[in-house]
Amino acid sequence: PPDPPTKVKVNLVTKSTVTLTWEAPKNNGGSPVKHYVIERLSWDTSGKEKETWKQCNKRDVEELTFVVEDLKEGIEYEFRVKAVNAAGPSRASATAGPLVIKDQT
């Protein structure tokens, strides 16, 4: 499998979305990266989602950016990305966050 993606960053936050960017892994394990898997961790202590990484993308993400949707305003989240090639998924990237979802405008 490839190395994990690097430099995962949160670029834009609204009250229900976060735009993430990252860089492709330097070492693809000898097979090109086919797509990326984006995951989020919710810090909502009242909810059932706490401390479980959930996949955010329903389709294969081939570009180096993704908009995570359906986030809850006022809740803290962390995000991470995995690269996937013919051999399978990489380890997870370093996380971006935690950050509280709020409208920045």
Sign of torsion over alpha carbons 27, 28, 32, 36: negative
The answer to whether residues 53 and 40 touch, using CB atoms and an 8 Å cutoff, is: yes
Domain annotation covers residue 13? yes
Domain annotation covers residue 76? yes
Domain annotation covers residue 67? yes
- Band the pLDDT of 82: cuts 50, 70, 90: very high
Using H for helix, E for strand and C for coil, what is the string for 48-104? CCECCEEECCCCCECCCEEEECCCCCCCEEEEEEEEEECCEECCCCCCEEEEECCCC
Domain annotation covers residue 49? yes
Tell me what pLDDT residue 52 has. 83
Structural domains counted in the chain: 1
The CA-CA-CA angle for residues 86, 81, 3, to 5°, reads 50
- pTM equals 0.91
pLDDT reading at 50 higher than 70: no
Cα–Cα distance list, 62 to 10, 12, 45, 92 (Å): 18, 20, 33, 16
- The CATH number given to whatever domain includes residue 18 is 2.60.40.10
pLDDT reading at 55 higher than 60: yes
Q: Which domain holds residue 13?
A: 6-100
Q: What digits encode the pLDDT tens for the residues 60-81?
A: 999 999 999 999 999 999 999 9
